[in-house]
């Protein structure tokens, strides 16, 4: 047989005992499946008939039936080459929704920009038709596992960053048809997936190197049910995720990115339009750093748009077009903060401040301390002190109290410098005195 949009051609091996007739409903799985009412018949040749048809309803074909079908795409479904829309693992049934090379404009601004979006789908369809009630329930659900990752390593020397990309990858559209039997009647459902998403990044960076990564996982099921004459949305979702942030030195950093790696989904029952959904998972990491302190947060969310097309209402002509949109998951999911390792006090009081004089400060055991302008501070903070940071006990002796050369040289840590007076041997003043510095005798 041959299947066309508004006609079918049947060819029999021998004369049929009951040729096709006007008013009959016929179905099959060829050409994505068909469910048609015959409105005209012509014999093209012996045993060959052309049937003029129009789309029928399930209630025309089934008087009393209740079936539920679950479709989990087989391994071969996604084995269609490399790139977006292909299988994302070796054994499961996942499909890639995004990859880094589709955002070339943004990638040029980064030493590394890594995008990942994987979807392992499950589809469910349930129909209940009663002998007296007609269509009692129609339910469709899309679910599965969504994994997203956005990793950003901006190029050095780029203090301000702004980048936006959007995509609808029709060239990576993937379609597969599931067929099953209800009694002796074949039913065909065609599933079509088209990746759709966006990327946005903004930031101000005052350090040579920054790396920010956000990961999110969403497990969900969502769809719609027609029952008691009206449509209702159904959804259930949970999420997990993490964010990592690294900088190579102290400085001001503000960086935020959002990856939405979603898809358009359309189901056709037989060869007519049916339920459709937009599934929009996203991961949004952000981070700030100011000298010692850093803060990170992560949003992991899911946006859904669900609709039942009524171009050709295969289920029941009384159904009307219906759609809704909502967010079963949104908002900040994860927050963290801390102090960078180079701030050794970790936000606490400097442990060296417990020593109140130079001698005890420089003699401290278990702490790397030094004397600076009348205070004892951690050696990691020596840069705050300029050239006056002292770690030697000998440098702690105050020689300024000796008013003449004789008394000055009487202290083993002091020396006499003409024009400067008595100074400590370990100080910069002693070093700058040059050849006139006296430590053994007075001239």
Q: Which carries the bigger pLDDT value, residue 37 or residue 178?
A: 37
pLDDT value of position 236? 92
First to last CA, the chain: 124
DSSP 20-35: --TT-EEEESGGG-EE
Strands (E), 76-173: 95-98, 110-130, 134-154, 160-168
DSSP assigned state of 6: T
The mean-pLDDT minimum among 30-39, 132-141, 265-274 falls in 265-274
DSSP 235-273: EEEEEEEEEEEEESSSSEEEEEEEEEEEEEEEEEETTEE
Q: How confident is the model at residue 350 (pLDDT cuts 50, 70, 90)?
A: confident
Q: How confident is the model at residue 433 (pLDDT cuts 50, 70, 90)?
A: confident
Same domain (yes/no): 164, 258: yes
Which whole-number Å values give the CA distances from 131 to 66, 136, 270, in the listed order? Answer: 11, 10, 22
Same domain (yes/no): 133, 32: no
Same domain (yes/no): 183, 288: yes
Residue 196 burial class via C-beta count within 10 angstroms: exposed 0-12, middle 13-18, buried 19 and up: buried
| 341-348: average pLDDT | 60
* Residue 9 CB contacts under 8 Å (≥ 6 apart), including other chains: 1, 2, 44, 48, 49, 50, 51
Same domain (yes/no): 257, 291: yes
Final residue of a domain: which of 342, 366, 399? 342
Give the bridge partners for 274, in sequence order. none
Same domain (yes/no): 308, 380: no
Are the C-beta atoms of 277 and 307 separated by less than 8 Å?
Answer: yes
Are the C-beta atoms of 122 and 166 separated by less than 8 Å?
Answer: no
Q: Is the pLDDT of residue 320 over 80?
A: no
* Residue 260 CB contacts under 8 Å (≥ 6 apart), including other chains: 197, 198, 199, 280, 281, 282, 303
Same domain (yes/no): 148, 274: yes
- Looking at the domain assignment, is residue 210 inside a domain? yes
Are the C-beta atoms of 167 and 84 separated by less than 8 Å?
Answer: no
Q: What element of type H or E holds 407?
A: helix 405-409
Per-residue pLDDT of 99-118, as tens digits, reads: 666 666 676 666 677 888 88
- Looking at the domain assignment, is residue 192 inside a domain? yes
| 39-64: average pLDDT | 85
**The domain containing residue 392 runs over which residues?**
351-436
Q: Which carries the bigger pLDDT value, residue 285 or residue 34?
A: 285
DSSP 255-321: EEEEEEEEEEEEEEETTEEEEEEEEEEEEEEEEEEETTEEEEEEEEEEEEEEEE--SS-SS-TT---
Which whole-number Å values give the CA distances from 168 to 83, 175, 367, in the listed order? Answer: 14, 16, 60
- Looking at the domain assignment, is residue 327 inside a domain? yes
Instruction: Provide the token pair at 428.
Output: 């910069």
Cα torsion angle, 58, 62, 68, 71, sign: negative
How far does Cα 240 stand from its chain's mean position? 11
Q: What is the spatial distance between Cα 103 and Cα 129, in angstroms, rounded to a whole number?
A: 48
Which whole-number Å values give the CA distances from 157 to 1, 340, 370, in the listed order? Answer: 67, 22, 36
Q: Is the pLDDT of residue 87 over 50?
A: no
- Looking at the domain assignment, is residue 361 inside a domain? yes
| 398-420: average pLDDT | 85
Which whole-number Å values give the CA distances from 176 to 32, 33, 145, in the listed order? Answer: 9, 12, 19
Give the bridge partners for 277, in sequence order. 265, 306
pLDDT value of position 368? 81
pLDDT value of position 221? 92
Final residue of a domain: which of 342, 362, 390? 342
Final residue of a domain: which of 293, 314, 342? 342
Q: How confident is the model at residue 83 (pLDDT cuts 50, 70, 90)?
A: very low
Per-residue pLDDT of 121-136, as tens digits, reads: 888 888 887 777 777 7
Same domain (yes/no): 295, 316: yes
Same domain (yes/no): 313, 424: no
pLDDT value of position 245? 92
Same domain (yes/no): 363, 262: no
Q: Which of 55, 47, 45, 42 is nearest to 4 (CA)?
A: 55
What's the total number of domains in the chain?
3
CB atoms within 10 A of CB 157: 7
- Looking at the domain assignment, is residue 442 inside a domain? no
Q: Is the pLDDT of residue 84 over 50?
A: no
Q: How confident is the model at residue 436 (pLDDT cuts 50, 70, 90)?
A: confident
Q: Is the pLDDT of residue 20 over 50?
A: yes
- Looking at the domain assignment, is residue 324 inside a domain? yes
| 370-380: average pLDDT | 81
User: Above pLDDT 70, what percent of the chain?
Assistant: 84
pLDDT value of position 244? 92
CA angle centred on 442, ends 441 and 443, rounded to 5°: 120
Same domain (yes/no): 111, 230: yes
Q: What is the spatial distance between Cα 435 and Cα 423, in angstroms, rounded to a whole number?
A: 15
pLDDT value of position 363? 83
- Looking at the domain assignment, is residue 336 inside a domain? yes
DSSP assigned state of 98: E
Same domain (yes/no): 140, 42: no
Q: What is the spatial distance between Cα 62 and Cα 15, in angstroms, rounded to a whole number?
A: 28
Q: What is the spatial distance between Cα 337 and Cα 243, in angstroms, rounded to a whole number?
A: 11
- Looking at the domain assignment, is residue 443 inside a domain? no
Same domain (yes/no): 411, 431: yes
Numbers of helices and strands, H then E, in the chain: 5, 23
The listed range with the strongest mean pLDDT (154-158, 190-194, 258-262, 318-322) is: 258-262
pLDDT, the chain, mean: 80
**Torsion angle of C-alpha atoms 74, 100, 285, 164, degrees rounded to 10:** -120
């Amino acid at each position: 047989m041959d299947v066309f949009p508004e006609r079918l051609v049947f060819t029999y091996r021998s004369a049929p005992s009951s040729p096709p007739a006007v008013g009959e409903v016929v179905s099959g799985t060829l050409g994505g499946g068909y469910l048609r009412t015959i409105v005209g018949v012509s014999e093209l040749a012996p045993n060959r008939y052309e049937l003029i048809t129009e789309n029928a309803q399930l209630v025309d074909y089934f008087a009393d039936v209740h079936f539920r079908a679950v479709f989990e795409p087989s391994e071969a479904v996604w084995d269609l080459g490399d790139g977006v829309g292909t299988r994302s693992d070796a054994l499961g049934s996942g499909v890639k929704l995004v990859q880094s090379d589709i955002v070339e404009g943004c990638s040029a601004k980064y030493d590394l920009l890594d995008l990942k979006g994987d979807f392992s789908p499950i589809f469910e369809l349930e129909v209940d038709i009663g002998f007296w009630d007609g269509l009692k329930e129609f339910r469709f659900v899309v679910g599965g596992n969504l994994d997203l990752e956005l990793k950003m390593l901006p190029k050095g020397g780029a203090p301000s960053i702004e980048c936006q990309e959007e995509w609808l990858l029709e060239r990576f559209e993937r379609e597969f048809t599931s067929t099953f039997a209800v009694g002796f009647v074949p039913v065909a459902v065609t599933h079509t997936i088209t990746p759709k998403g966006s990327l946005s990044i903004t930031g101000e960076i005052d350090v040579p190197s920054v790396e920010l990564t956000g990961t999110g996982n969403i497990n969900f099921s969502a769809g719609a049910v027609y029952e008691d004459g009206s449509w209702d949305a159904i959804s259930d979702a949970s999420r997990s995720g993490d964010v990592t942030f690294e900088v190579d030195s102290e400085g001001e950093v503000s960086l935020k990115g959002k990856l939405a790696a979603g898809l358009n989904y359309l189901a056709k029952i037989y060869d007519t339009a049916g339920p459709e959904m937009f599934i929009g998972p996203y991961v949004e990491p952000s981070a700030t750093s100011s000298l010692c302190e850093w803060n990170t947060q992560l949003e992991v969310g899911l946006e859904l748009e669900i609709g039942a097309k009524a171009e050709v209402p295969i289920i029941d002509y009384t159904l009307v077009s219906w759609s809704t949109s909502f967010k079963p998951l949104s908002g900040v999911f994860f927050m963290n903060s801390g102090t960078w390792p180079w701030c050794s006090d970790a936000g606490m009081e400097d442990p060296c401040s417990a020593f109140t004089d130079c001698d005890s400060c420089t003699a401290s055991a278990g702490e790397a301390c030094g004397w600076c302008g009348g205070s004892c501070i951690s050696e990691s903070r020596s840069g705050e002190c300029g050239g006056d940071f002292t770690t030697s006990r000998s440098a702690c002796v105050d020689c300024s109290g000796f008013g003449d050369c004789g008394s000055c040289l009487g202290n083993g840590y002091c020396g006499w410098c003409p024009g400067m007076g008595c100074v400590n041997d370990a100080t910069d003043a002693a070093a700058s005195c040059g050849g006139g510095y006296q430590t053994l005798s007075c001239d």
